Amino acid sequence: MQAENLNSQFLRGIMVVTEKNIQIYYTKPPIIIFGLLFPLFMFLAFYLGKELDFQIFFPRLLAMFLFFIASSVGPLITPWEKQAGTYERLLSFPVNINTIILGDSAAGMIFGIMINLVVLAAGLIFLNYNLNILFLIAGTLLGALCFSSLGVLLASPSVPNPSYIMMLSSLIRFPLIFISGIFIPIENLHGIGRILTYFSPITYLVDIFNYSFTSQSHISIIIDFTTLLIFSLIFICGANKLHKRNLMKGL
C-alpha cells in the first residue's frame, strides 16, 4: 500500500515538474534561440544554394530538429532555477532528484515532439513518402527521450550563470551534428569520420528516420533502437549521478 502511494507520488511529482517546466521555460529566449532558430539557420546554411535533394534530406532535417529542440530545454532549467533561488524550494517538495530529472527530460521530450510534428506536417504537404508510421513514432519518442536526457545531463555542472551551460551545451551539440550523417550521409564518410559517427546518438535516429521515410537504412534498425535506448539510459544515469553530486552547489 505504501509502495503504491510512493509510486503514485513519484509519477505525480514527474507530471507536476513537467507542467511547471512547460509553463515557465518553453518561451525563454535561450530555448527559442538554441532550440528553434539554430537548427533553422543550420538547415538554411547547408541547403540554400546547394543541389541537395530535399526528398532525401528531409528525414535528416527532421532528426536534426528533434535533436536541437529536445536537448535545448534541459540545459536551461537547473542552472536557471539555482540562480533564481527556486531550486531549493523545488527540492523541499515531496520529490527526489529522479523526479526532477525525469520531469526535466519529459519537458524537453514534449517540446521536441511538438515542434517536430509541425516540421513533419509541413514537410508532408510538399513531399511524398510511403511512411512507415510505427517506426517513425517509435523513433521520435526514443530520440526525444535520448536527446532531452542529454540536455539534462549537460545541466549538471554547477555554474554561476546559466549562460555558461548554454555555451557548454552548444560546444557539445554542434560537433555532434557534423558526425551524424545529417549533412554528409554515413555511406559517404570514410576512416575516422565514419568511426566517429557511431559515437553520436543522432546517427541512429537519422538511420531510423531514413528507414521510416524511404525504407532504406545503413545500420540495422534493431541496432538503431537498441543503441538509442542504451544512450538514453547512460544519459539518465549520468544525469542522476552528477546532479546528485552537485545538488547543493550553487544554492
Q: Measured from the CB atom, is 103 or 151 closer to another protein? A: 103
Please name which of 109, 95, 60, 107 lies closest in space to residue 211, comparing C-alpha atoms. 60
Which grid coordinates are listed for 118? Answer: 509541425
SS3 52: coil
Helix (H) or strand (E) run with residue 45 in it: helix 38-47
Q: Scan residues 35-94 and list those touching another protein (CB under 8 A).
A: 84-86, 88-89, 91-94
Residue 47 identity: Y
Task: Find the radius of gyration of the CA atoms of the chain.
Answer: 18
Q: Measured from the CB atom, is 100 or 165 closer to another protein? A: 100
**Residue 222 C-beta: closest distance to another protein, Å:** 38
Give the distance from CA 52 to its chain's centroid: 25
**Residue 243 C-beta: closest distance to another protein, Å:** 13
Query: 143: number of CA atoms within 13 Å, CB side?
Result: 29
- Of 37, 41, 96, 216, the residue at the interface with another protein (CB under 8 A) is 96
Q: Measured from the CB atom, is 44 or 88 closer to another protein? A: 88
- Of 33, 114, 127, 248, the residue at the interface with another protein (CB under 8 A) is 248
Q: Which residues contact 63 (CB under 8 A, 6 or more apart)?
A: 143, 180, 182, 202, 205, 206, 209
Total residues interacting with another protein, rule: CB under 8 A: 26
Q: Measured from the CB atom, is 9 or 216 closer to another protein? A: 9
Q: Measured from the CB atom, is 98 or 214 closer to another protein? A: 98
**Residue 148 C-beta: closest distance to another protein, Å:** 21
In order, the DSSP letters of 180-212 are TTSSS-GGG--HHHHHHHTT-HHHHHHHHHHHH
> What does the binding site for another protein look like in residue numbers (CB under 8 A)?
2, 6, 8-10, 12-13, 16, 19-20, 23-24, 84-86, 88-89, 91-96, 247-248, 251
